[in-house]
Amino acid sequence: MTAPILVVEDLVKRFPAGRSGAFVNAVNGVDLKIVPGETLGMVGESGSGKSTIGRAILRLTEPTEGRITFDGRDITNIPAHKMRPLRRDMQMVFQDPWSALNPRMRIGDLIAEPMKLHLDLSRSERENKTVDLATRVHLRPEFLRRHSSDLSGGQLQRVCIARAIATNPKLIVLDEPTSSLDLSVRAEILDLLSEIRQQTQAAMLFISHDLGTVKLISDRIVVLYLGSVVETARSQTLFSNPAHPYSQSLLSAHLPADPKAELARHVLEGEVPSPINLPSGCTFHTRCPVAIQKCSTHAPGPQQIDDPEHFANCLRISDGGNRILSTETS
Amino acid sequence: MSLLEVKNLRTHFMSRDIDNQIRVAEALNGVSFDLEAGKVLGFVGETGAGKSLTAQSICGLLRPPARVVEGRVLFDGQDLTAMPSEELNELRGAQIAMVVQNPRTSLDPLTRIGDQLVRIHQAHTGGPLTASRERALEMMTAVGIPDPKNRASAWPHELSGGMAQRVLIAMSLMNRPKLLIADEPTTGLDVTVQAQILDLLKNLTQRFDMAMIIITHDLGIVAHYSDEVAVMFAGTIVESGPVAKIFEAPSHPYTRSLIAATPERLQMGSGAKLGGQPPDLYNLPTGCHLRTRCVFAQNICTDTPPNREVGTDHFAMCHFAGRLPESGA
């Protein structure tokens, strides 16, 4: 098996909350692994810590605890000036392309900027490569002379993707890259991403709250709830056989764009608890329809399900009581 | 007679440019539809297609430079576009209610939520305060707010997004509206909360025999929560009909591309050209507004397309409606 490009072990991130000395527990002991060429999808509702994890991996926010190994090297604590050359191999695409790009720079200069910082190229080489990159993200070359205000959201996101692939990175973190775009434009960007993935073999961490999108683009999916991983599985497996009660209800709340698709609905009660006062034991037990006494005191570890890549963190798996939909109908 | 009949509604934005020339953005170009009591109509389309503007034009909520320049809105037989603003005020919030996208910014931050509910009831229905308070508790229960007696004294900032949306829905129901307009009611809410809110809205329309317009860009919501669909593009309803037919046999090229772009149907690596620049409302293409980005476009498309009936209650505004090739978007 190939060595993973990224290993995240027991990642914890706490943000101070006000002057009370309380903390927002954004990420609570997350383990992740991505192999080269793989796309890992990360889904969760707001406050599940998915963006924080993405940012912590690139050291855009400092982890409180845990270890991040990138390409065989522990990068958790290395100083900023040593981090800088590594950024060539790890890039990010953000949700809002309007605020991610400098409005005063021309599109061509924006795409060339990462090459200027990281690659030792002559001016003409860089200019050629800029045109080449623009073609790869399907932007017409005349756009290179324009400014970001002249482009639509979908075109700007193409610019962001061109910037991200300019240095041939080994890992690209995409934080909700299609959430601010219209449906048809979103489809085009997803298509472009799958094309880029085939060309470059870059590993991707695809963060989104939209299950349909994540299913489409990911090889494997991690489901997060309140800063913890609740389930990891191959994309198809997760959708056909979700094991964790939270994944089951999340998938049942997903509305496929087909009026004939039957909905096996299990609507969860209540809302996500505050990450300042995390529930004890399994953090999902306050909303879980199949929680037992033990769930409020014992935090479950990962349990292997049917195949070696499918894990769920639930105490009810061992006694088979983790199915919420069957309990509903019986 | 339908509860709501919108006929050839045109809304334009009129402004002057730097050379003092009048510029007109043709935002709504002849929107017509009917809505019966007890039915849910879903409006879909891309940003700027005129979904929210249609709702605002119906309710008379436009501010200059936007103006309804043509068309009629018949609600229960009365023409809302010709109604004096005092009379319209009596209707809005009472018989026509609206639920908007940002629940937190729509609540008065300095008034306890119970008082806000009582206030809207007093303004329209009147009667003794105790009756209004009772109605408030009743509606809070109906929308699933736990412990309504105590929650009535909560401040808006103490509510989560989902709870604030429930309060807004309770508020819209205070005066027993006949028509509820929900403009992106769940955008910004989490999926599990979205399911709760949509189930609630659907139940309430049945329970109180209301008509509902639900505006969204999510085809999943339309597919499962509406009876009829209106697909908007460049200020026009390009296709309308019963939800099952729209998904089964989309007859307008734009509807086809929208449906083809849903994650369920998307083929990765197909390189399909689905999107495109929205048309310039200041300078709309003549004839069919989609023709500049439509793969089926022919010479005839420079003429305004007819609204063809392609099935029972199913219309598409395209020269080739009902005759489009099977594949392709």
pLDDT average, residue stretch A28-41:
94
Assign A181 to helix, strand or coil: coil
Is a pLDDT exceeding 80 seen at residue A176? yes
**A285 or B292: which carries more pLDDT confidence?**
A285
Residue A93 lies in a domain: no
Does any CB of chain B come closer than 8 Å to the CB of residue A239? no
Q: How far is B198 from chain A (nearest CA, A)?
A: 11
Give the range of the structural domain holding residue A314, as residue numbers without chain letter.
Answer: 241-330
Domain count within chain B: 1
A208-236 per-position pLDDT tens digit: 988 888 998 999 999 999 999 999 999 99
Q: Are strands A22-34 and A6-17 parallel, antiparallel or unpaired?
A: antiparallel
DSSP state letters, B158-196: GS-HHHHHHHHHHHHHTT--SEEEEESTTTTS-HHHHHH
B257: closest CA among B273, B279, B278? B273
Does any CB of chain B come closer than 8 Å to the CB of residue A325? no
Residue of B nearest to A185 (CA): B275
- Residues B79 and A26: their CA atoms lie apart, in Å, by 53
Residue A274 lies in a domain: yes
Residue A57 lies in a domain: no
Residue B142 lies in a domain: no
Q: Are B222 and B42 in contact (CB under 8 A)?
A: yes
Kindly report the CATH number assigned to the domain that includes residue B18.
Answer: 3.40.50.300
A41-51 per-position pLDDT tens digit: 999 887 889 99
pLDDT average, residue stretch A14-28:
86
Residues of chain A neighbouring B257 (CB-CB closer than 8 A): 184
Residue B171 lies in a domain: no
Residue A327 lies in a domain: yes
DSSP code of residue B67? E
Residue B135 lies in a domain: no
Residue B199 lies in a domain: no
* Cβ contact A209–B196 (<8 Å): no
- Which pLDDT score, from 0 to 100, does residue A210 have? 86
Mean of pLDDT over chain A: 89
* Cβ contact B191–A211 (<8 Å): yes
pLDDT average, residue stretch A286-315:
90
Q: Mean pLDDT of successive 10-residue segments in chain B (329 residues)?
A: 91 86 89 92 90 91 89 92 90 90 86 94 92 92 86 88 88 92 84 84 89 92 94 93 93 90 76 70 87 86 90 92 70
Residues of chain B neighbouring A256 (CB-CB closer than 8 A): 220, 223, 262, 264
pLDDT classification of A277: cutoffs 50, 70, 90:
confident
Residues of chain A neighbouring B166 (CB-CB closer than 8 A): none
A81-133 per-position pLDDT tens digit: 999 999 999 999 998 888 899 999 999 999 999 999 999 999 999 999 999 99
Does any CB of chain B come closer than 8 Å to the CB of residue A216? yes
| Residue in B244, B261, B268 closest to A183 by CB | B261
Residues of chain B neighbouring A194 (CB-CB closer than 8 A): 268-269
Residues of chain A neighbouring B219 (CB-CB closer than 8 A): 183, 257
Domain count within chain A: 1
Residue A134 lies in a domain: no
Q: How far is B101 from chain A (nearest CA, A)?
A: 15
Is a pLDDT exceeding 80 seen at residue A33? yes
* Cβ contact B268–A216 (<8 Å): yes
* Cβ contact B220–A211 (<8 Å): no
Tokens 């729509």, residue? B106
* Cβ contact A258–B247 (<8 Å): yes
**B132 or A328: which carries more pLDDT confidence?**
B132
Q: Which helix (H) or strand (E) holds A13?
A: strand A6-17
* Cβ contact A183–B219 (<8 Å): yes
Residue A304 lies in a domain: yes
Determine which of B200, B266, B290 to mutate to test the interface with A (most A C-beta atoms within 10 Å): B266
Residue A324 lies in a domain: yes
- Which pLDDT score, from 0 to 100, does residue A329 have? 39
Token representation of residue B319: 């020269």
Tokens 């089964």, residue? B248
pLDDT classification of A267: cutoffs 50, 70, 90:
confident
pLDDT average, residue stretch A285-293:
91
Positive/negative CA dihedral, A32, A38, A44, A47: positive
Residue B285 lies in a domain: yes
Give the range of the structural domain holding residue B285, as residue numbers without chain letter.
Answer: 4-87+179-189+210-317
